[in-house]
Each structure stands twice: as C-alpha cells, then as structure tokens.
C-alpha cells in the first residue's frame, strides 16, 4: 500500500504563512510543475569535489552492507546512499551521482534486491552528490523522486561549476514539512530543516534489529559549507528542532543515519556491527550518542555564527 499524506491536509486550520519551507502552499504532488514561489536558487556548494579520488568509482567503492533488517548502506566513501526495504517495494535515500550511480545499482542487486522494485527516491537536498542519480532511477525504474520545493529549484538551476552538472529528474513529488509517506509496512515522516541548503529534507522511519524496532533519523544537511548569518541561524534552528525531537519522552531518536558517512561514524559502527557477537547491543543504536552529536553540531554552528557576524559587520 502506498500513501503519501501531505501535512497540508492534516493541518488545514493553520494559516499557510505558518508553514515551514518558505511557506508556499505547493501541492504535495506536482507533476512536471515548477514550484512558483520557492526561495531563490543558489549555486551548488557541496563538499570538496576537487579531491583527487572523489569521482573515481574504484577508489570510492564500499562493499554494501546491511545495517538493520530493513536497511542497507549502498553508498560510497564520501556520500551515503541507503536502501530501505518495505513489504511493498524499495525506497532509496539519496542517489549518488555520475559513475557512482552504478555502484548503487550494483549494491541493490548485491544485497539481494531488484532495482526494478524501487518505488521512491527521497533526496535529502539539491546538491549534485545527493540528487545526481535521481533522474536515472526515475527513467530506468520508474521510481518517484521526492524533494522539498526549495531544493527542486536548487537542483533545476545549472550549477556554477560544470563538474556539478547532473541529469535533472522530472519535477515530481514536492515534500513539505510534516508530510508522511507510507509504503507497505513502513511509514516515513518528513521535516524541512534548512541551513545547509534552503530546503534540506530530514526524515525519520522505523528500522528493525531482529524484529526490534528503533527510531532512525536522517538529518539531510549536516555540512557547514554555506554562507551568511541568516542561513547559519536557520541551521541552528534546525539542529535545535531535531534535539527536541530526539528528546521526546519515551520515543528517543536512537539511530543516526548521516548522508555523508564520515559525518556520522557510519563506517566505524559498521565495523563494530560486523564483529557483533550474539546478544551484543547494536552499535548503531545509540540515543545518548545522538544527543551528543547534535550538541557538537550546535557548537560548530555557533562558532560559525560568530565568524559570519564578523564578516557581515554585525
């Protein structure tokens, strides 16, 4: 069963101006229609693409691995890509780019699934390293691509650096704050958490460890490679919001899935997972670690805010 529930339907009584994500009342599913009122697009500023081996599929290859009963890592060294398995098809979270797209497709097969079963590609933000493969998954496998309105705009504008050019997916699903997506036995909930870009998409969903359910969260824009006091304040607001979610009474976020592996100890935990003995705790289940990680993101952004204020002459 597939059900995309836009938050707009659930909160019709709240004035549109109170909505997050630029406030525009974009239809949740807008086929081939550009968002009309999104934030101005901006050049794709992403992690250093000039590093010698970033674009080399051989150097970047990671053996795909299972993290939970329903979740696999099929990304590369510097960018994550997750495969979420439901009873009614597959969901890809981020889509890699360039030659690395083949790594993701090979990864889906290597973990025993068929890319033809892909139903959705959910893109954390509009930078090339996350959205670059979306068009191919859409064209080849008929997967629907979901992003926030602001980051559809970002992805659709040609980047300043030609190295960051991508095949732009057909404008498909516009995801807003509070939307949910149900596919088979799995429901995802979305949050718009701007800062790294204007329309960073974060998401939470259940993951299962031998049947035991945990609350996984993916903060869609961790990096501080952006500019300005306003954006830094947005980032800080987003981190503060996730900290509140993480601390929900009786329902803590206990699994941190980062969209760059190095920013969330993904490979370190994967090594521990590989040598986990029967009865050991799952190394990705770490609610205290998550709170500490968010506190660290906040400290880093507060330091950046000081610098940005100086640059702005404030």
Q: Which stretch binds Zn ion (CB under 5 A): 44-52, 81-89, 187-195, 269-277?
A: 44-52
The 86-125 site mask, x for binding Zn ion (CB under 5 A), equals ----------------------------------------
H or E stretch at 73: strand 71-73
CA gap 274, 285 in Å, rounded: 14
- The reply to whether 265 sits near Zn ion by the rule CB under 5 A is no
Count of residues touching Zn ion (by CB under 5 A): 2
**Binding window for Zn ion (CB under 5 A); candidates: 16-24, 39-47, 56-64, 96-104:** 39-47
- Contact segment (CB under 5 A) with Zn ion among 38-46, 74-82, 162-170, 228-236 equals 38-46
Burial (CB count within 10 angstroms: exposed 0-12, middle 13-18, buried 19+), residue 87: exposed
Taking contact as CB under 5 A, which single stretch among the options 40-48, 183-191, 205-213, 262-270 is the one that binds Zn ion? 40-48
**Backbone phi, then psi, for 71, in 5-degree steps?**
-145, 130
Residues in the chain: 314
- Does the footprint of Zn ion cover residue 148 (CB under 5 A)? no
Give 127 or 144: the residue with its C-beta nearer to Zn ion.
127
Write down the least CB distance from residue 133 to Zn ion, Å: 15
d(Cα 83, Cα 302) in Å, to the nearest integer? 33
Q: How far is the CB of 127 from Zn ion (least distance, A)?
A: 3
Question: What backbone phi and psi angles, to 5 degrees, belong to 94?
Answer: 70, 160
Using rule CB under 5 A, residue 46 touches Zn ion: yes
Name which of 44 and 135 has its Cβ closer to Zn ion.
44
**Per CB under 5 A, 127 contacts Zn ion:** yes
Cα–Cα distances (Å) from 164 to 99, 129, 130, 136, 308, in that order, read 13, 8, 11, 16, 26
* 290 close to 248: Cβ distance less than 8 angstroms: no
Q: What is the CA radius of gyration of the chain?
A: 18
For the CB of residue 223, give the shortest distance to Zn ion in the complex, in Å: 6
Question: What is the rounded CA–CA span in Å between residue 274 and residue 16?
Answer: 48
CB of residue 196 to Zn ion, shortest distance in Å: 6
Residues in contact with Zn ion by the rule CB under 5 A: 46, 127
């Amino acid at each position: 069963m597939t059900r995309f529930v836009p938050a707009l339907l659930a909160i019709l009584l709240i004035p549109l101006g109170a909505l997050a994500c630029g406030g525009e009342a974009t239809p949740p599913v807008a086929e081939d229609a550009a968002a009309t009122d999104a934030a101005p697009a901006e050049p794709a500023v992403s992690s250093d693409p000039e590093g010698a081996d970033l674009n080399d599929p051989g150097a970047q290859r990671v053996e795909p691995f299972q993290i939970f009963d329903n979740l696999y890592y099929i990304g590369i060294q510097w960018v994550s890509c997750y495969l979420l398995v439901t009873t009614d098809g597959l969901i890809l979270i981020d889509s890699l780019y360039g030659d690395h797209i083949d790594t993701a497709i090979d990864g889906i097969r290597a973990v025993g699934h068929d890319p033809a079963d892909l139903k959705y590609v959910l893109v954390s933000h509009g930078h090339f390293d996350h959205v670059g493969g979306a068009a191919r998954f859409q064209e080849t496998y008929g997967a629907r691509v979901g992003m926030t309105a602001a980051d559809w705009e970002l992805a659709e504008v040609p980047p300043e650096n030609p190295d960051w050019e991508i095949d732009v997916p057909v404008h498909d699903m516009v995801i807003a704050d509070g939307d949910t997506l149900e596919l088979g036995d799995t429901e995802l909930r979305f949050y718009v958490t701007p800062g790294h870009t204007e329309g960073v998409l974060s998401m939470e969903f259940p993951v299962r460890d031998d049947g035991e359910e945990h609350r996984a969260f993916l903060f869609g824009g961790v990096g501080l490679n952006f500019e300005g006091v306003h954006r830094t304040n947005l980032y800080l607001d987003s981190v503060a919001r996730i900290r509140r979610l993480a601390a929900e009474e009786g329902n803590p976020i206990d699994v941190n899935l980062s969209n760059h592996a190095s920013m969330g100890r993904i490979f370190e935990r994967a090594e521990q997972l590989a040598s986990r003995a029967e009865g050991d705790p799952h190394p990705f289940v770490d609610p205290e670690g998550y709170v500490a990680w968010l506190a660290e993101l906040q400290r880093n952004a507060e330091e950046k805010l000081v610098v940005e204020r100086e640059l702005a002459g404030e």
